[in-house]
Every structure is written in structure tokens, then in C-alpha cells.
Structure 1
Amino acid sequence: MNKGYVLNGRYKIVDRLGEGGMADVYLAQDLILDREVAVKLLRLDFRDNPKAKKRFQHEALAATELDNPHIVGIYDVDEVEGMQYLVMEYVNGEDLKQYIKDHFPIPYAQVVDIMEQICSAVGEAHRHNIIHRDLKPQNILVDKNGYIKITDFGISRLESEDTMTQTKSIIGSIHYLSPERIKGQMATKQSDIYSLGIILYEVLTGKVPFTGDTAVSIAIKHSQEPMPSVRDFDPRIPQALENVVLKATTKDPKDRYQTVGDLAADLNTSLDKSRANEPKFEVPQVENDLNEQTRVMPFSALPENEMLNQSPAAKDGQATQPTAEKAPKRRRFRHRRRWLIAGIIGFLVLVFAVIFLVSANSRTTVPVITGTLRSDATEKLTSADLKVGKVTYRHSVKVDRNRVISSDPKENTRVKKNTRVALVVSSGIKKVRLDNYVGQDYSEVKRKLEAQGFKVRRRNAPSGTFRSGKILQQDFAAGDRVNPKTHTLTFVVSTGIQQVILKNLTGMTKAQVVSYANKERLNPTFDYVYSNREAKGKVVSQSPAAQTSIQQGGNVAVWLSRGPKAKSQDEIKSFNVKVTIHIFQNATDESSSESSLNGSVQAQTPSDQSDSETASSTTGSGENVVLIYLKDHDHDFSTVYKQMVITKDTTVMLPFKLTKNETGRYKVVRDGKTILRDNNITYDSH
């Protein structure tokens, strides 16, 4: 579907978000409600498939029954011009699979936060007796603020339905499938809990526990092999957190958590100091019954081929010679010639008919494979009596990785059987490898990165170690491969130590203040107050005051006007939240590096969770540059509220302004990693 197309007179297509096995997903603008939405459109080759249509409709029905902030909402479901579509809530972010790749290793406190949000959504579905049956990171979305949304209820079922028995085939993703479902038993709530345990394993280790060359080999491992230890991968993972994985993924469903709520409650306390010496969870040993051996259900049902047998029969008739009076020789000759010509014509017709039938049976049609996975395209070509030819990989911004871009011969072309079809397969978006730029000249680095397509932002900080213009810190790790079109790179740049005489900012707009601060290499922080004196959006006051001398890279507090306060406006409560930021010191050798890495646990949260920082990503000067993000009535979470350079453990007071219906949040970032966060600050909690 092309950009700009208006679906059903309401949803204007803006861009393609992704392609699935059955449907394509587009970003669209709701022209009536003026909001961004995601439109899921059943693919052309499935529109006449009753099973696909039923699953598509079922997804809408299942999701609309659920009311949870962590489940993607369904706004509309309809059909127009033979096209079935769903209109869903648009989540601006990425799926959990990609999030793990981009952010691994993930601090343990954040792992718990991610899983608790997922459990909230799955628990809501279970309360309605709906089993998801396809829980996997690819069906879990993470927005730009780390907020979780679960989607794709296309194969979910009520707990009473036994779809496995009806179809005799496995539905779901094999890497996250429970042993009982692999054996052909009915999916239960414990089946979803098993999938949650596998997801937790992957968030902690960055990989799935069982891999193999075929789906059958992976299924057998799920059924028979013990769950690998996450502590073997990372010994710093608390035993209590590993126990959650082990209990959620026992082979026997009766030994797992009985509800998702039980799993979430155990997960919530897994990082407490009181559970530091908890013994390892022992998986109950179940004796194998000879009559209960593992039987892996088939992954597809192939209809029997019908054999068409032809047995032509010909009966020989008796040749009778007419009895007639003798005719002249000429008449007999003409009579014989007519029969001879008729025989030749009949023979030629028969020959052409045979040639036509043989030719028709030796040709086939290239199936529609554009947008499908390479493995699926191979199966379709094989089913059409064709072979896979040369496979070429090419970068693409429109087609996802490992999906077919085009074929040669093209789709729907009639060709001879066993023809080799060349495929062009997407290798995904071309990504650029980033280096460590600390200590380099900012202007030169900025020029190189912008030439590669990146957007580059600068923040200033004073430094007695680095000369003015040198990079102190970067918000990404060296070695990362990222898409230049979607990533903005932020550098903290040294201003040296120079003094600036502040000008009077009163009456300026926020944009004017930012422009002035960039010119003078200052870091402004903004707050908002009601004012009858200054128009909305204009500076009311500042601190330090005008004509004060301040170091370059220093902070300037600026208060902007909200305008006059309306009588009917909700009351805004102001309060402070106390946050302690721990210093992270560089190591000088391998042993001290390990010590610093373990010591960074102290800087994670008040409950002492791992920071996963590395010595190589810091400035090397004993100075930590930290960025604080804050969201309340006046502040946006996407922009930096405050930047600080600390040389020791530092306590700061974060000011919040909230109404009764608002929820505040904050996070503290060092070297591109979140070391402190709180997503649930409310009016009534302070």
C-alpha cells in the first residue's frame, strides 16, 4: 500500500512499519481524531483464506475484551474493497527482541521492571480466561520511554478450547513453547507462564536457552533437557532471580507458578537483600513412564496426493466390406483418398493434443514470495516444483531482514518445472559501526558522522582535564552498529574552565535561551510557574541572576511562564524527590576493572543492582557526566532536564509538579546507560 493512500476515507498511510507472515503493518494518521495509529492489513495472498481471516478477526475480538495499559489497544476493525484491516494503538519504539540486542546487558532492576509490566498484561488476559499461546519478545513492544505493550492475540484461545486436538499441529514459536504443548496437550495458563520464563531467560542472557538445526530438535530439548543456568552465563545474577526462571520453566506444569500474579510477586522480591543467600530451586524429578514417552506433534499436515490413473481402452471393430456393385476405378480411388486424408488429419490432431498435454504438465507458476521469509519462500518454490537459484543479499529500508525483496523469474510467471528461481533477500537496514570518540575534537567527529547520515547533538561541561572542544563523553558504546537514519548521537564536550557574565534572560522564549546557552556554552534547566506579568512561554526569572559570573558548562535555572492560572484548573502539587548518584571510578588494570564493575552495583539503585558499565566507556578523568531526565506537569521526558559533572557520590533534589491525574517519572543516565529510574511518582505518594 503506497504512502498517502487513505484507507476507508479515514486512515492516511504514512509509512510501512513491518511485514508479518499474514499481515503488513503501516503507520497511519487518523484524519478524524487527528492521531497516529497502526493499521494491520491482511496480505493479498491470504484474503481468500478462511482460516487466516478467522485468525485476523479473532485478534481484534481477543484484544478488545482486555483493558490493560500494557496491552496494545484495538480501535477499529473493518473490511473495505475486500481488504480486512485492524486499527491499533501506535507504539513508537521497537520490539523486545531488538531492544535486548540494542541495550544488552540490561540492569537487573530494569529486567524486573520489564517483566512486571509483561506479567501485568498476561495476568489481565488470564483473568478473562484468555491464553495468549504465542508469547515471545517479537510480540512485546517497548516504546521510547521503556514502557511495555503486548500485541498479537491472533492465536490466543479461551482456556476451554483445545485447538491442538483439533488441528494436530503446533501453533506458536518453538523457542518459547512449553513441553506439554510440544507433546500435543491442551494449552493452559501454565503454558504462558513457561513462555514468560523463557523470555526472562533471554532478557538476562541475551539468548534463548535451546537452539538447534530444526524445529523438532529444539522441541525435544524443551521436553527432555534441563533448563540451562543463567548464573553459568553471568555469576552476578542473584540466585533468587535465577530461581524465578527455573520455577517458571519446569517440565511439569503443576510445578510451575499457579498464576502469573505469583510469578510477578516472586520476581518483585528477587533483588531484595533478604533473599541474597537463597538456595537454588531444585526442579522436581519426575519418573518417566514407558507409556508416556515424548511425542512431538507434526508441524504441518500434508494432504494425501491423489493419483489420477488413465487406462484408455480401445475396442477393435470388425471390418466389413460393403457389398456393392462394381464401381469404376476412379470412384474407388477417390474414396480411398478421402479416408487417407481423414486418417492423417486425425493422427496430427492426436499428436498435437499429446504435445499440448505434456507441455502443460511440464510447466508451473512462480508463486508470490515477495515479503516472505527466505525459508518460507524456499518451501513455496519447492511446492511449485521449482528450485532455489542464486541468493543475493541487499540492504533495504522497506523490507525486513531475511525477507524476499524480489525474484527472477518474477512472481506469477509461467516457467518450466525445476527452473531455478534467483532470490534477492533483504539484509536489513545498513548499519554503521561507531567508535570511541572520547578525547577527539568534537568539530571533526561531528563532520564525519553527519556525512554518514547521523544527527549529532552537543552538550557542554566544564573540565580541568580535557581542553575546550574535546569530547568528554558519548551516549553510546563503542562497537555499536546502528542505523544513521534513526539515531541521534549526543556528545558531552569540554568547555575548559572559563567565566561568563550572565545576561538578563527575562522575556526570552525557551528557544532563545537555548540558543544563548549554546553560544556561551552553558547548560540551562527549565521550570514553569504561573505568571500575570509575562506571556505564556516567556522567561519570568533566572538563577543565578543577570550580571553574575558563572563558569562555562555551568547550570542556569530558568523559570518560564504558564500564563495566568485559570480558576477551574486542577491544583498542582510541588514536591522534591531525593536521589543519590554514586561515582563510578575508572580502573587501571584488569583486576581493578573487575572490582570497579562489581562496585558499580552500588551506583545502580538504593537496592544495590548491577549497572553493567565498563571502564572503557567513561571519560578517564575521574569525572562522571550524568544526564537527568524528568517528566511532570511541565517537563518532557525526551529532553535532558539537568546535566551534572560529579567527582564523588552526590545527592540531588529533583523538583516535581503534578496534578492528581498525572504520573511523574525520572531516570539518571551515565555513558548511555540508565543507572537510576522511577516510573511511578504520583500526587498522593509525596
Structure 2
Amino acid sequence: MNKGYVLNGRYEIINRLGEGGMADVYLAEDLILKRKVAVKLLRLDFRDNPKAKKRFQHEAMAATELDNPHIVGIYDVDEVEGMQYLVMEYVDGEDLKQYIKDRFPIPYAEVVDIMEQICSAVSEAHRHNIIHRDLKPQNILVDKKGYIKITDFGISRAGTEDTMTQTRSIIGSIHYLSPEQIKGEMATQQSDIYSLGIILYQILTGKVPFNGDTAVSIAIKHSQEPMPSVRDFDPRIPQALENVVLRATTKDPKDRYRTVNQLADDLNTSLDKSRANESKFIVPDERQKVDEKTRVMPFNALPSSSASANESDAQRPLPNDNENRSADKRPKKRMSKRKRRWLILGGILAFLVLLLTLVMIVTANGKTTVPVITGTEENEASQKIKSADLRLGKVRYHSSDTIDRNRVISSNPHENTKVKKNTKVSLVVSSGPRKVRVDNYVGQNYDQVKQRLESEGFKVRRRNAPSSSFRTGRVLQQDFEAGKKMNPAKHTLTFVVSTGIKQITLEDLTGMSKAQVISYANKEEINPTFDYVYSSDQPKGRVVKQSPAANTSIRQGGNVAVSLSRGSKTKKNDDLKSFDVRVTIPYFDGNQGSSSASSAFNNSQGTQAPASSSSAESATPEPTSAETPENVVLIYLKDHDHDFGTVYKQMVITKDTAVSLPFKLTKNEVGRYKIVRDGQTILRDNNITYDSH
């Protein structure tokens, strides 16, 4: 979104503040309230993604429920021209990650102050039964006075909701996720407390406790490895302050603080002299817990092998003395040979085990793992591949509606696969959404053009207009620029199609609904424009009057003004103001190549002429040299009653033409209009207000 663009007629874009996985954030000026705001705009590739839209809306709903000075406020949430956006409080500063990087080491008193502000915001969320689930320094903003604000409640949830998705996917940032979230278990207040402990660790040491080449390796460390000591990094850190980290980040949630307020209270006294000699917090031993649950079998329950042996011996006949003496000698000789055999077999077995171990070590040293690179930029993926002792193979580009341009779609071999070192890894990289070049279709048969464009994936719409120069069914005008490349999944192409010259007699539309009027207009190939008036004679949404009147004869493709009922007038509608905005639409003479009103409206596209000589003969079968070239004009209007996404009025002009655009606005509404001629916007106003007229 470019600087100077006015979003929804109210928020003027100043510059980009940052970008995330799903949305971009811009600094903007609220033109009505005259204040700076942050506008979070859902990225193009996620606008048709229902999950992304739901998360975007959820962020607004979650934040608006909370009233705390340390939580970024949400001012507005809306959608315009397919763009979903949030308007948030603007924090003039930086995120906590950059703050730590710029100011490390941070004094302990300031560390405690920062954490207490964060705890205040998280406690407010927990009081409303909302779990943040993605607490990290990047989601914590610090203004120039050191004041803390928490943002991004996009994946937060109510405490009564189940956090497990059907696919058991992990939600949140891996460096700050609790062990139970990594295992796919339900996130609780203790899960946020674990993330707060990791944030405190990072403020004290300047780094996260666990790092690794892959998300999986980091997750394993969170689940299995003990929390590193912050005092090993800096022995000057008070033991009481380290104890806060250790207790907040225990593996078992039951061993952590029960509430964020408990954590904050412990922090508040961690620098007191009374706690100077505090002993180190000992994390409960998980193995000891298991041993305590193990049942020990009584000794007398064990079977006695010696007793069994005695019973067997008692049943045997006793040998005589000679037999005993000879038996004493023979077994010794046999036992000696048996012992030697077992020693030889044992040696061979030990040798085989040693050999197998060596083979495994050599094999392991000769292998590596394909890193996780999906979604990363091509250059970053290439560096990760080289760092893993692999080589970059072929790079192919493929269009994608979900993966940004120049980011990796997939790899071969796949991620996390064990392969030999120096193996080539081929990449499939996104070339962005598939785009199709559109042409100049003026003069061509509409049905053929529609079939061709729909086969490419475009949505095609038709509007009708009378014409003395083009036969019925020929394209008079298109609302897009010829030669432009467009994404079929994102664009709807509108054509104005000739109906020739045919007279029809209007029916009485009084009492019809809007849908019925549109159905009748499509059947008769006329173009209705809708206005709204108060009426006690007709129910809301029904036609009150029309112009021209019933039984009037008009040309096919002409306009019919239809007034729909708003219902009876009430006191709530007293502040609705009606006024007209008068504009002059300049006429463009395609033969002379200029506008009669101003050269500023020159049209170099020449879209009123056929695209090629091959279509010229069929496009103008009955030309009349005396005819003045026609301009087909589309007018879009937004006010209390009209939607900017639909054409308010369509007209054909042969000279500069003045029109009055009717607006109805309340004090809190902002109106706008735009006028399109030959696929180009020639007039626009995005800031029409109640007080300006």
C-alpha cells in the first residue's frame, strides 16, 4: 500500500511499520480524529483464507474486551474492497526484542519494572478468561518513555475453549512455547506464565534459553532439558530473581505460579535485602514422582529357586562314594571346557558389537538432515542448505496463491529427511500468484470473450448500454487496462455490452423488492439506479417510485431511477443529511485523441476502437460517419444507502456532462465517489462529510 493512499476514505497511509506472516502494519493518519494510528492489513494472499480472516477478526474481538493501559487498544475493524483491516493504537517506540538488543545489559530494577507491566496486561487478559498463547518480545511494544504495551491477540482463546486443533498442530512461537503446548495439550494460564519466564530469562541474559537448527530440536529441549541458570551467565543476578525464572518455567504446570499476580508479587520483592541469602529454587524431580508411584513387591512373594532345587535333589537317588569321587573329577573338566567356549563366544560377540557401533558412528558422521526451509526466502533457504553440509540443486519456479513470491514451496529431499552429506537439495520456489495478460476486447463478441476469460479463471460481469455504432452483443467498454497482467483468482472483469437501439415500455415497479427490480432490469436489458427515501406507504426495501414513470418508452440499455423505502421516519434518523455533489464529466473524443474539457483526461489506450483489424469489420457493421463517438461512464458512490462495490449509475455521453450525485450521510459517516471512463478512474473524492456540505 503506497504512501498517501486513503483507506476507506479516512486513514491516510504514511509509511510501513513492519510485516508479519499474515498481515502488514502501516502508520496512518486518522483524517477525522486527527491522530496517528497503526493500521494492520491482512495480506493479499490470505484474504480468501477463512482461517486467516477468522484469526484476524478474533484479534479485534479479544483486544476490545480488555481494558488495561498496557494492552494496545483497537479503534476500528472493517473491510473495504476486499481488504480486511484493524485500526489500532499507535505506539511510538520499538518491540521488546529490539529494546533488549539496544540496551543490554538492563539494570535489574528496570527488568522488574518491565516484567511487572507485562504481568499487569496478562493478568487483565486472564481475568477475562483469555489465554494469549503467543507471548514473546516481538509482541510487546516499548514506547520512548519505557511504557509497555502488549499486542497481537490473534491466536488467543477463551480459557474454556479447547486449544487442540483436529490436526494437533502447534500454535505459537517455538522459542517461548510451554512443554504442554508443544505436546498439543490444552493451553492454560500456566502456559502464559511459562512464556513470561522465558521472556524474563531473555531480558536478563540477552538470549533465549533453548536454541537449535530446527523447531523440533528446540521443542525437545523445552520438553526434556532443564532450564539453564541465569546466574551461570551472570553471577551478579540475585538468586531470588533467578528463582522467579526457575519456578515460572518448570516442566510440570502444577509446579509453576498459580496466577500471574503471584509471579508479579514474587518479582516485586526479588531485589529486597531480606531475600539476599535465599537458596536456589529446586525443581521437583520428575523421576522421583514416578518412583513414588511404583509398587514394590514383598520379598516373600518372590519364588525361591533354591527351594525348588532342594526339592528336586531330594527326589533323586543318592549315589555311592565311588560314584561321588569320580563325579567330583569329571564335572570340573567339563566346566573348564564350557567356560572356555563361553569366553570365546563372548569375545566374538563383543567384537561384533564394537564393529557395529563403529559402523553406526561412521554412518552417522556421514549423514545430515535436510533443514526446515518451507516458507523461507530463496536466499535464506540456500544458506541453510549449505550450513547443513548440503548442496543446492535445481531451482524451479511455480505460481502459488498461498506462498509469497521468492519463498520456498517445497524441497526434494523433503525437510527433516536424513541424507548423505553433499546431497543436492532441489527447490520449488513461488513465483507469486498466477497472472494472465488481458487484452483490449472492445468491439469483440461478448459471449466469446466471456467464455475465453472464464476458462482462464476470471469472473466476468456484464452491464448493458445502447449504442448506434456497435451491434448488439459487442463489447463497448471494459473496466481494466489492456495489456495488464492480472490474477484471475483476485479480479472480476466488467464489460459494458451494446444492446443496439431498441425501445421498450417500462412496467410499474411500485411495491417490488430490489431483487425483483434487478431481475426485471436484466431481462429487459436496462440499468437501474437506486435511491432511498422515507415512506409510510411502502414497507422497508420496497419500491416507492420510479423515473421514468410506468408505461414510458425508453431505449434498451437506458437508465431507470428507482426509489426504495427506508420505512417510516423516526427520531434516530433526524441527523441524516441529504445534499448533492455536482461534478462535470469530461467527454473524450476518440477520433481527435483528446478530451474536450481538459487534456488532463487524455486516454492513450484507445479502448473505444477494436483491438485489431480482424475484429474491426464485425465490430462496426453499420457505422455512420455522422455519429459522434460515445463515452460509456460508470459512477460508483458510497453513502448511508449505497455500497461502493456496485455501480451506482451508468450513462452514455457525447459531450462534457454535468451530473449531480445525491449523498445522504450522518455526522459520523464519510462518503466518496469515483467516475470511471474507458477503464480509467478520471474523477474521485474520498472525503465527503456531513459538515463539508
Give the TM-score normalised by the residue count of structure 2.
Answer: 0.51
Which residue does 1:376 correspond to in 2? 380
Alignment partner for residue 640 of structure 1, among 647, 657, 668? 647
For the residue of structure 2 that corresponds to 1:492, the secondary structure is strand
Q: Deviations over 1:187-237 (max 9, x none)?
A: x99xxxxxxxxxxxxxxxxxxxxxxxxxxxxxxxxxxxxxxxxxxxxxxxx
**Distance in 2, Cα, partners of 1:333 & 1:540:** 116
Give how far 1:408 is off: 2.0
1:543 to partner: Cα distance:
0.8
Unaligned runs of 5+ in 2: 1-17, 28-33, 43-52, 60-69, 73-77, 105-142, 145-210, 213-333, 611-627
Structure 1 residue 465 displacement after superposition: 1.2
Q: Number of aligned pairs? A: 406
Q: Deviations over 1:108-161 (max 9, x none)?
A: xxxxxxxxxxxxxxxxxxxx9x9xxxxxxxxxx995289998999999618998
Once the two structures are superposed, what CA deviation does each residue of 1:400-453 show, in whole Å capped at 9, x if it has no partner?
Answer: 333222222221111111111222223333222222111111122222223333
Q: What is aligned with 1:71?
A: 39
Alignment-derived partner of residue 581 in structure 1: 585
**Residues 445-497 of structure 1 deviation map (CA, whole Å, 9 limit, x = unaligned):** 22222333322211111222112221110111222222223321111111222
**2:554 counterpart letter in structure 1:** I
Q: Is the 8 A contact 1:497 1:552 kept in 2?
A: yes
- For the 8 Å contact 1:499–1:549, the answer to whether it is kept is yes
SS at match of 2:516: helix
State the match for 1:320 in structure 2.
Answer: none
- Mapped to 2, the partners of 1:615 and 1:536 lie a distance apart of 44
Distance 1:156 1:614 in 2: 47
- Is 1:663 the counterpart of 2:646? The answer is no
Tell me, in whole angstroms, the C-alpha distance in 2 between the residues paired with 1:90 and 1:553.
45
8 Å contact from structure 1 (residues 473, 619) kept in 2 = no
SS at match of 2:515: helix
Q: Distance in 2 between matches of 1:90 and 1:602?
A: 49
2:94 to 144, 153, 157: 157
Task: Give the 5 Å matches for 1:418-457.
Answer: 418-457=422-461
For 1:647 and 1:22, how far apart are their aligned partners in 2? 48
1:84-99 equivalences in 2 (<5 Å) = 88=56
Go from structure 1 to structure 2 and tell me whether the alpha carbon gap of 1:343 and 1:522 turns closer, same or farther (over 3 Å shift).
closer
1:137-536 to 2 correspondence within 5 Å? 143-144=80-81, 157=94, 350-536=354-540
**What is the identity, as a one-letter code, of the residue corresponding to 1:673?**
Q
Secondary structure of 1:504's partner? coil
2:578 alignment partner, SS class: strand
Q: Deviations over 1:570-620 (max 9, x none)?
A: 4321111111111222266xxxx6xx4xx69937xxxxxx55742323357
> For the structure 1 residues 475 and 549, does the alpha-carbon distance in structure 2 shift closer, same or farther, using more than 3 Å as the test?
same
5 Å-filtered alignment, 1:73-152, equals: 88=56, 143-144=80-81
Could you tell me whether the CA contact under 8 Å between 1:600 and 1:613 is conserved in 2? Answer: no
| Distance in 1 between residues matched to 2:519 and 2:338, nearest whole Å | 109
Q: Which amino acid aligns with 1:420?
A: K
| Distance in 1 between residues matched to 2:520 and 2:681, nearest whole Å | 29
1:652 is matched with: 659
Contact 2:41–2:86 under 8 Å retained in 1: no
Amino acid at match of 2:40: V
What do the CA deviations read for 1:323-356 (whole angstroms, capped 9, x no partner)? xxxxxxx999999999988877666555444333
Q: Deviations over 1:12-39 (max 9, x none)?
A: xxxxxxxxx99643xxxxxxxxxxxx8x
Instruction: Please report how far the alpha carbon of residue 676 of structure 1 lies from its aligned counterpart in structure 2 after TM superposition.
Output: 0.9
Alpha-carbon distance, 1:523 to partner: 1.4
Q: Whole-Å Cα distance in 2 between the matches of residues 152 and 393 of structure 1?
A: 40
**Letter of the 1:602 counterpart:** S
Distance 1:86 1:142 in 2: 13
Give the distance between the partners of 2:40 and 2:398, measured in 1 at CA: 33
In the alignment, residue 361 of structure 1 is paired with which amino acid?
A: N
Q: Quick one: which of 637, 648, 651 aligns to 1:630?
A: 637
TM-superposed deviation, 1:368: 1.3
Superposed displacement of residue 360, structure 1 = 1.5
Q: Is the 8 A contact 2:503 2:553 kept in 1?
A: yes
- Call closer, same or farther: CA 1:633–1:553 in 2, change over 3 Å: same
TM-score (structure 1 length as normaliser) = 0.51
- Does the 8 Å contact 2:36/2:90 carry over to 1? no
* C-alpha distance in 1 between matches for 2:403 and 2:541: 43
What value does the CA root-mean-square deviation take over the aligned residues? 4.6
1:358 aligned counterpart, secondary structure:
helix
* Partner of residue 615 from structure 1, selected from 592, 605, 620: 605
Tell me the equivalent position of 2:148.
none
Percent identical: 57
- Separation of aligned partners in 2, 1:86 and 1:166: 37
Structure 1 residues 154 and 432: alpha-carbon distance in aligned structure 2, compared to 1, 3 A threshold? farther
On the 8 A contact 2:41/2:83 being kept in 1, the answer is no
1:273 counterpart residue number:
none
Corresponding residue SS for 1:535: coil
- Hey, what's the Cα distance between the residues in 1 that align with 2:430 and 2:566? 50
C-alpha distance in 1, partners of 2:378/2:89? 22
Cα distance 1:87–1:583, how it changes in 2: closer, same or farther (>3 A)?
A: same
> Could you tell me which amino acid in structure 2 is paired with residue 624 of structure 1?
N
SS at match of 2:532: strand
Q: 1:70 to 1:149 in 2, by over 3 A?
A: farther
Helix, strand or coil at the partner of 1:370: coil
Find 2:679's aligned residue among 667, 672, 682: 672
Cα distance in structure 1, aligned partners of 2:402 and 2:587: 43
What is the CA–CA distance in structure 2 between the aligned matches of 1:89 and 1:69, rounded to whole Å?
Answer: 18
Q: Which runs of 5+ in 1 are unaligned?
A: 1-20, 26-37, 41-55, 60-65, 75-84, 92-127, 131-140, 168-187, 190-301, 304-329, 604-609
User: 2-side partners of 1:333 and 1:533: how far apart?
Assistant: 118
Distance in 2 separating the partners of 1:166 and 1:601:
61
Change (3 A) 1:156 1:370: farther
Does 2:570 correspond to 1:602?
no
Whichever residue aligns with residue 671 of structure 1, its letter is D
**Does the C-alpha gap of structure 1 residues 161 and 435 become closer, same or farther in structure 2, counting only changes over 3 Å?**
closer
Matched, 1:562 2:604: no
Higher radius of gyration, 1 or 2: 2
